[in-house]
Amino acid sequence: MSAATEAKPTESRSRPERRDVEDATCLACGCLCDDIRVVIENNHIIEAGSACLIGQSFFASQNQQNEHPIATIDGEVSDIPAALDRAAAILANARRPVIWGLTHTTIEAQAAVVALADRIGAVIGLGNEEESRAKHQAAQRVGVVSATLGEVKNRSDVVVFWGVDPVVTHPRHFERYSVDPRGRFVPEGRAGRTVIVVDSRRTATAELADHFFEISGDSQFETLWTLRALVAGSYVDPARVTSDVRHLGELLQSARYGALFHGSDLGRGRGGQATFEAFLLLVRSLNDRTRFVALPLGGPGNASGAEAVLGWQSGYTLGVDFAQGFPRPATRESSAQARLENDSCDAALIMADDPTRRLSSTGLDGLRRIPSVIISPIATSADHRATVALNSAAPGIHHGGTVLRVDGVMIPLRSLLETTRPSDREYIDEINQRLQAETERS
Ligand code: SF4
C-alpha cells in the first residue's frame, strides 16, 4: 500500500488552528464562484465570505462528520488495501465492465478514470448523460456560438434567460457574470443592459427583468423557429406571429452584443433535440445581424470537466466504449445506463456521482445484480449494495485540483480541511497500478 491510500492522520501538524483561505471555489452551482474567503477553525469551516446562501450551506455541510467507514467489502468494514485488491480483481475479471458518474470530481481524477477504462475495455457513461444528450447531439449537428462569461460581462447589453431562474438556482450569476457588473463596453453595469426572461411562469428572475415573455414549455420549438424566421427576414404569416414574439424578436435584434442563457431542461420536453437545435440556430441567425452567444447556466460539480476530458481523450463527449481496444461513441442504446438496464454488463465502477438519484430505477436494479465498486465522498454499500465501497475526500474541500466552468475556463480548487480519507484520484491510481502489475505478471 502506498502512502497515498493509507488512512491519513486527522489533525494537521503544520496548519494553524485558525486560518483564512482566499479565493476558494464553491462547487454548489454552475457559477463556480472562485472568490470565496473561507475561515477555518479547528478543522471546521466557520465562515464562507462572499458565498450566497446556497454556497454557505454547501460549505457548512462539509463540517458534518462522515459516519461511513472508509472502506467496506460486501458491507463489512475493511482496510483500504484489501478493498483496493478486491476492486481491482472485480474490474480485471469483468468481460463487459461499465464506469458511470464522474460529474463531481476533478479533471485530474476524470482523466485517470478514462485511462482505467481504456485498460479494462469499459463503457463510460457520465452521470448527466441523459439530461445532456439533446444538448450534445444538437451541438454536433448545428454548432454552438459561445463565449467566456468574462466576455459576456464585458460586452453584453442584452441578456436573455430562457427557461431558467438564476436568482433562485445560481444566486450570484447576476452579480458576477451577466447583469450587474460594469463591463469594458457596458460601463453603466445594470443600467446599460436590457434583461429579458422567457419562461412558462413568472419567476423570481422575471421579477427583476425588464421584459418577461410567457410561453408554454410545449410551444418552445414553434417560438424559437418563428423568431429565427423573423430575424432572418423570412416571410411569416402575420396571423401566426403574436405581438409578444414580434416584440421579443425586435429586442434580440436591438442588441450590440447579446447573451442567451439556457438550462439543462431545454430539449428534454416536447420537440426534444429539435428544440435545442432551434435555440442554437436562432443564435446563429442573430449573428448575421449582430453578435449573440449561447451559454448554459451549468450544474453543480464538474460535469463540464467530465464532458471535456472524455472529448479530449477519446473524441466523444457523453459516453464512450473502449471494448474494442479503441474508443467508439456510446449511443443511448449502448450507453453505460442502458447496459445496466438490460444486464449487458458484468461489473461496474461508480465514481463521484449518486446512482440512487441519477440512474433510472431499472439501471439501479441492474447495478444491484452485478459486482460493483463505488468511490465517492458519500460512498456507502447500503444504497445500492456495492461489493466494494471506498469513501473519498471531497474535491475543493479536502484536496485541490481543477474543474471546468461551463464556458470552458479552468478553475483551481483549494484544499481547506484535513481528512483521513484518500482522494478518488488516489484510489484510481492504486487500482490502475494493481491492474498494471497483474498484466505484467501474466
Ligand atoms: S452562486 Fe453558486 S457557486 Fe456561487 S456561491 Fe452561490 S452556490 Fe456557490
Q: What is the pTM of this model?
A: 0.92
| Residue 67: band (very low, low, confident or very high) from pLDDT cuts 50, 70, 90 | confident
pLDDT at 392 > cutoff 80: yes
Across the chain, mean pLDDT equals 92
- Is 126 in contact with 318 (CB distance < 8 Å)? yes
Average pLDDT of the segment spanning 176-190? 97
Candidate from 33, 35, 297 with most ligand 1 atoms within 8 A of CB, to mutate? 33
**Ligand 1 pocket test, candidate residues 104, 172, 413, most atoms within 8 A of CB:** 172
**How far apart, in whole angstroms, are the C-alpha atoms of residue 339 and residue 97?**
9
Q: Cα(61) to centroid of ligand 1, in Å?
A: 14
Please give the backbone phi and psi of residue 259, each rounded to the nearest 5 degrees, phi first.
Answer: -130, 125
Q: Which atom of ligand 1 is nearest to the CA of 25?
A: 3
Cα angle: 116, vertex 121, 124; to 5 degrees? 70
User: Among 39-43, 124-128, 130-134, 356-360, where is mean pLDDT lowest?
Assistant: 130-134
Identify any residues that bridge with 375 across adjacent strands, giving them in sequence order.
351, 390
Mean pLDDT of 49-71: 91
- Residue 396 alpha carbon to ligand 1 centre in Å: 13
Q: What is the pLDDT of residue 12?
A: 44
Nearest residue CA, atom 7 of ligand 1?
55
Q: Which of 251-255, 324-328, 379-383 has the lowest mean pLDDT?
A: 379-383
Report which of 258, 261, 293 is spatially closest to residue 166, judged by C-alpha positions: 261
pLDDT, tens digit (0-9, with 9 covering 90-100), for 410-429 = 999 999 999 999 999 999 99
**Ligand 1 atom nearest to 50, measured from its CA:** 5
Write the burial class of residue 203 (CB in 10 Å: 0-12 exposed, 13-18 middle, 19+ buried): buried
pLDDT tens-digit readout, 306-348: 999 999 999 998 899 999 999 999 988 999 999 999 999 999 9
**How many whole angstroms separate alpha carbon 205 and alpha carbon 283?**
22
Indicate the Cα dihedral angle 143, 112, 118, 120, nearest 10°. Answer: -140
**At CA 127, angle to CA 112 and CA 297, rounded to 5?**
105
Residue 193, C-alpha cell as written in the block: 443592459
> 283-294 burial, b if ≥16 CB within 10 A, otherwise e?
bbbbeeebbbbb
CA 196 – ligand 1 centroid, Å: 22
pLDDT for the residue 383: 59
The pLDDT-based confidence of 15 (bands split at 50, 70, 90) is low
β 410-413/76-77 pair status: unpaired
Tell me the one-letter amino acid at 435: L
Question: How does pLDDT run across 238-252, given as a tens digit for each residue?
Answer: 888 999 999 999 999
The mean per-residue pLDDT over the stretch 341-363 comes to: 93
How do residues 196-237 score in pLDDT, each as one tens digit? 999 999 999 999 999 999 998 888 999 999 999 999 999 988
Distance 207 CA to ligand 1 centre (A): 20
Indicate the pLDDT class of residue 11, thresholds 50, 70 and 90: very low
User: Does pLDDT of 179 surpass 80?
Assistant: yes
Distance 372 CA to ligand 1 centre (A): 33
Query: What is the rounded radius of gyration, in angstroms, for the C-alpha atoms of the chain?
Result: 23
Question: Could you tell me the end-to-end alpha-carbon distance of the chain, in angstroms, rounded to an integer?
Answer: 21
Ligand 1 centroid from CA 63, angstroms? 18
Residue whose CA is closest, atom 1 of ligand 1?
172
Alpha helices in 254-300 (DSSP H): 272-286
Residues pairing with 97 in the sheet: 347
Q: H or E stretch including 328? A: strand 328-329
Angstrom CA distances, 190 to 105, 150, 164, 203, 223, stand at 35, 16, 19, 19, 27
* Ligand 1: nearest atom to the Cα of 32: 3
Cell digits of residue 175: 452579480
Interval 41-57: pLDDT, tens: 999 999 999 999 999 99
Q: How many C-beta neighbours within 10 Å does residue 386 have? A: 28
Mean pLDDT for 283-311 is 96
Whether the pLDDT of residue 106 is over 90: the answer is yes
Q: How far apart are CA 310 and CA 290, in angstroms?
A: 33
Q: Give the angle 315-317-321 at the CA atoms, nearest 5°.
A: 70
Q: What's the pLDDT score for residue 66?
A: 74
Residue 153 has pLDDT above 50, yes or no: yes
CA of 174 to the centre of ligand 1 (A): 11
Ligand 1 centroid–CA 300 distance in Å is 9
Q: At what angle do helices 272-286 and 129-142 cross, to 10 degrees?
A: 40
433 to 6, 40, 85, 285, 426: CA distances (angstroms): 15, 35, 11, 51, 11
* Ligand 1 pocket list (CB less than 6 A): 26, 28-29, 31-33, 51-52, 54-55, 170-172
> What angle, 0 to 180 degrees and rounded to 10, lies between the N-to-C axes of helices 220-232 and 272-286?
20
Residue carrying C-alpha cell 466552468: 405
pLDDT at 83 over 60: yes
Q: At a CB cut-off of 8 Å and minimum separation 6, what does 308 contact?
A: 107, 317, 404, 408
Q: What residue's CA is closest to ligand 1, atom 4?
A: 33
Rounded to an integer, what distance in angstroms lies between the CA atom of residue 103 and that of residue 82? 27
Determine the pLDDT at residue 226.
96
Q: Which of 126-140, 170-184, 258-272 has the highest mean pLDDT?
A: 170-184
Can you tell me the mean pLDDT for 51-73?
A: 91
Cell of 408: 470552458
Q: How far, in Å, is the centroid of ligand 1 from the Cα of 272?
A: 29
Distance (Å) from CA 171 to ligand 1 centroid: 6
**Which of 45, 52, 179 to mutate to test ligand 1, by most ligand atoms within 8 A of the CB atom?**
52
- Please give the helix or strand (H or E) that residue 304 lies within, else none: helix 303-314
C-alpha cell at 317: 463527449
pLDDT for res 2: 57
